[in-house]
Structure 1
Amino acid sequence: MKINRTTERSIQILELISKSNEGLEMDEICERLSIPRTSCYDILVTLVHMGMLEVNIGVKRSYKIGLNAYRIGMSYTNNRNISEIISPALKELSKELQKTCFFGVLEGNKIVYISKFEPENPIITTATIGTKNPVYNTSLGKAILSTMSEEKIRVLTADIDFKPVTRFTITDRDIFIKNIEVVKSRGFALDERELEEHMECVGVPIFDEKRECIGAISASSLYRKDEDYMALGDILKKRALEISKSLGFMP
């Protein structure tokens, strides 16, 4: 397969500039991508002409992503159904972790399970597609709430009766909100046998191109004392970020 060198360099330039909030000068672009100045200049002029880049004129000219590049990126996310992106990734994650994986969204103060994938020898879970569970004792619910302000969390949980579903369920609103602060700091939530006493779940929020939380993914399995749930949370964070980026999210 023959690769067009100019096209390849154009895309490399767009990718590099997209990662810089302040924009980049031509000299820096040339240095970081090892592109000759004359070639880089011609590409930049063309990309500006096509609306793919914008020019900031200060002491030195710098380049930022243009409106046309944003429109093209938006058309990608607009033309793809969320489930088309999340379902394959969730299926692969279930296979990788050998755990039951879910994608759920918030409906009122409950979690609705939208997708579910199981490994070859699954542990039976009560949650199925369409099931609704409270936000306060699910990793999915905690993960989604962790993207909100404390004020919004208090409003959303105001009508919840914090019932002890298991002996590990958090039944005090203030303690629950402190738990959400922990979730915010580490980037993933734990359902520590709070919904089903024999199950432990890890959940991470998913974001779209507007940087808004659209739901969360989780991995569930039988509770084991020797399981490293912190490491599992870190793995899930990485996979969730990959999914979010596929939906147009830019960290």
Structure 2
Amino acid sequence: MKINRTTERSVKILELVAKANDGIDMDEICEKLVIPRTSCYDILVTLVHMGMLEVSTGAKKNYKIGLNAYRIGMSYTNNRNISEIIDPALKELSKELKKTCFFGVLEGTKIVYISKFEPENPIITTATIGTRNPVYSTSLGKAILSTMSDEQIREITKDIEFKQATRFTLKSVDELIENINVVRSRGFALDEREVEEHMECVGVPVFNEKRECIGAISASSLYKKDEDYVALGNTLKERAFKISKSLGYMP
């Protein structure tokens, strides 16, 4: 297979510029990619002309990703079904953790389970695809709420009757907001035996290219006193970040 050198260099330049949040000048591009200045200059001029790069003038010309490159990149996300990205990642996560993993979205004051994957020897859970559970007692719900302001949370939960599914279920919106503050600080939510007394779940929000929370992923299993839920939460944070990036999210 014959590779066109100019095209290859153009793509490598775009990749390099995309990683430089504050932009990058031509000298640094030439040095890092080992490209002759004359060849690099011609490529940069063309990419700027095509809207793939933007250039700011100063002591040195500084290059950043252009609007047209952003539009082309977003078309990848727009043309893919979200489930095509989330389902394989969730399936792999379930196999890795040996826990039942879910993807859920917020619908009114309920969490709706959209995807579910189980390990080889699953612990039976009552939640199935299509099941609805209260937003205040699920790790999925708390993860999603953690991306909102306290005022938004109060608005969503203003008509909720906090029912005690177990002795651990939260009893009021004030208790919920206090819990959400902890979720925000550590980056993951816990359903601490609040839906089913024998089950503990960890949840993390998922974002799209507009930096909007579109739902959350979670891992569920039997409650164990010696389980390291912080480590589990951190693993889910890493996986949720990868999923979000695949959906076009840029922090």
TM-score computed with the length of structure 2 as normaliser? 0.95
Q: Distance in 1 between matches of 2:224 and 2:3?
A: 51
Q: Distance in 1 between matches of 2:38 and 2:249?
A: 34
What is the count of residue pairs matched by the alignment? 251
Q: Distance in 2 between matches of 1:203 and 1:139?
A: 5
The Cα RMSD (Å) is 1.4
Match of 2:106 in 1: 106
Structure 2 CA distance for partners of 1:186 and 1:4, relative to 1, 3 Å: farther
Match of 1:86 in 2: 86
Q: CA deviation at 1:172?
A: 2.5
Match of 1:31 in 2: 31
Q: Distance in 2 between matches of 1:44 and 1:88?
A: 37
Task: Note the residue ranges of structure 1 that are not aligned, 5 or more in a row.
Answer: none
Q: CA deviation at 1:168?
A: 1.1
Bigger mean CA deviation after superposition, 161-170 or 198-207: 161-170
Correspondence 1:203 to 2:203? yes
Q: Distance in 1 between matches of 2:31 and 2:161?
A: 60
Please show how residues 106-125 of structure 1 align to structure 2 within 5 Å.
Answer: 106-125=106-125
Q: CA deviation at 1:10?
A: 2.1
Bigger mean CA deviation after superposition, 171-180 or 116-125: 171-180
Please show how residues 187-226 of structure 1 align to structure 2 within 5 Å.
Answer: 187-226=187-226
Please show how residues 4-23 of structure 1 align to structure 2 within 5 Å.
Answer: 4-23=4-23
Q: CA deviation at 1:51?
A: 1.6
Match of 1:96 in 2: 96
One-letter amino acid matched to 1:235: T
Q: Distance in 2 between matches of 1:159 and 1:20?
A: 47
Report Cα offsets for 1:153-200 as digits up to 9, x if no partner. 111111111122111111122121011011111111111111111111
Match of 1:136 in 2: 136
Q: Distance in 2 between matches of 1:192 and 1:5?
A: 56
Q: CA deviation at 1:216?
A: 0.4
Q: CA deviation at 1:67?
A: 1.6
Task: Note the residue ranges of structure 2 that are not aligned, 5 or more in a row.
Answer: none
Correspondence 1:61 to 2:66? no
Structure 2 CA distance for partners of 1:2 and 1:202, relative to 1, 3 Å: farther
Match of 2:240 in 1: 240
Q: CA deviation at 1:150?
A: 1.0
One-letter amino acid matched to 2:60: K
Bigger mean CA deviation after superposition, 80-89 or 36-45: 36-45
Report Cα offsets for 1:11-59 as digits up to 9, x if no partner. 2221222233332211222334343333322221221122211111223
Match of 2:156 in 1: 156
Q: Distance in 1 between matches of 2:39 and 2:187?
A: 43
% identity of equivalent residues: 81
Q: Distance in 1 between matches of 2:216 and 2:191?
A: 13
Q: Distance in 1 between matches of 2:32 and 2:220?
A: 43
Q: Distance in 2 between matches of 1:166 and 1:72?
A: 49
Match of 1:71 in 2: 71
TM-score computed with the length of structure 1 as normaliser? 0.95
